[in-house]
Amino acid sequence: MIGFWVAGALAVLLVLALLFRPFLLKSQDVNVSRRQLNAAIYRDQLTRLERDRAENTLADADYEQARAELQRRVIDDTAEADANSTLQAPRKTMLAVGLVLPIAAVALYVLLGSPAALQPQVPQQAVTAQDMDRLTEGLAKKLEKEPDNLQGWAMLARSYKMLGRNMEAEMAFVRAGSFLDNDAQLLAIYADLAATNANGNFAGKPAQLIEKALKVDPENAMALWLAGTAAFRGNQFETAIRIWERLIQQVDPESEDGRMLQGSIDAAYSALGKTAPKAALQGPAKGPRVTSPEAGSPPQKTGAQASVRGRVELDASLKGKAGPNDTVMVIARAPGSRMPVAVVRANVSELPLTFTLDDSLAMSPQARISMSEQVEVEARVSKSGMAQPESGDLISAVQTVKLGASGVKIQVNKVRP
């Protein structure tokens, strides 16, 4: 802030120096009398009279009258003695300008500028959940008095969603009405809420909202994801693959979203009893690259040495949270990779489950369990059956075991936040 004021003061001094330069550079005062000044003026006026008469723009009579008047004024001005007067620098004016200009500059900046911007920025306190609750409730009360404020209802719906108040968020979206009609993102958020509140069921209202969102914007990422999810949960795996392969073109291949999306596509192929084609695996959202044997990876093991065997159990305290038709997934990954090298699927009704993870369960020919010295193994119980973990899934701890291990015990004993 000090630097700003110093720069401003220097700028004012520069302006004053330029204004006063003609007076500051005068080497001496110029002395001239009033009589001499008047005589010079009269001579100039007489010269102009002569010129006007010569150009016939002034009649002789008018010329004689004007000349006589000039002579009379000359005689009157020279009748009295006149002391010399000095043309000096206007010191009072210069002093006034020197004071007024800086004061005016500062006053105008205070009135029209932004003095607060010169102050050091003070970090703002983070908005707490209580603050969000208070602001959201204030908005809700305001909208009860303004029921036609559709944009406000849409804002309230998103605020409720941020707070995890899904039922209230859905009701606020209902009140937003036609404001949502041309906003694909809001329609997709609304569809997601409606499906969540229906325990993951996309039939009816959620499906209609997704279809509407895709009509507004066929490439909306969230709407495409939900459309693929709805198709997957409806066992329409080919439709899910087709939709997700459209979406995968928009995703950063190295991002977590990209790897999860590729995993979901692989899961859809697996549900069809197929392996994802090579072109899909090498698409823009493929998971971490696994080095092929030809590229110098360790020799692949075979038979029992190329598998992991064990048993999965569901903790007794969580049995009430899982339905008999919920999907159990036992997943093996190479350490540091999110791409599964083997996946076993079963229903909760089959627990406790004895499993064998080997190359026959590979998600990709380029990522097989036999290509790793050790793997990370975990189990998850999912109501949706999706490859992407979701809140509410039942999960186990991740175990790192050597390839060829047997008797691995996996206990599903946690709920994913």
pLDDT in tens, 326-339: 889 899 988 877 77
- Higher pLDDT, residue 40 or 349: 349
Read off the amino acid at residue 319.
Answer: K
Residue indicated by tokens 């590229």: 295
**Does residue 381 register a pLDDT over 80?**
yes
- Tell me if the pTM is above 0.75: no
What DSSP element (H or E) covers 86? Answer: strand 84-87
What is the pLDDT, as a whole number, of residue 417?
A: 83
Per-residue CA distances from 39 to 51, 62, 78, 79, 319 (Å): 19, 22, 9, 12, 120
pLDDT tens digit sequence for 205-252: 899 999 999 999 998 988 898 998 888 888 888 998 898 888 888 877
Looking at per-residue pLDDT, the higher value among 323 and 126 belongs to 323
Q: What angle, 0 to 180 degrees and rounded to 10, lies between the N-to-C axes of helices 166-176 and 184-197?
A: 140
Instruction: For 46-96, write each residue's pLDDT tens digit.
Output: 888 788 878 888 787 887 888 888 777 777 766 555 555 545 556 667 667
CA distance 252 to 234: 27
**Span 182-204, mean pLDDT?**
86
Domains of the chain (ranges plus CATH)? 2-118 (no CATH), 129-281 (1.25.40.10), 300-415 (2.60.40.1120)
User: What is the full DSSP assignment across 140-178?
Assistant: HHHHHH-TT-HHHHHHHHHHHHHTT-HHHHHHHHHHHGG
At residue 79, the pLDDT reads: 59
pLDDT for position 258: 77
pLDDT at 151 over 90: no
Which residue, 367, 361, 364, is CA-closest to 292? 367
Over the chain, what is the mean pLDDT?
Answer: 77
Residue 170's pLDDT is: 87
Amino acid at residue number 107? A
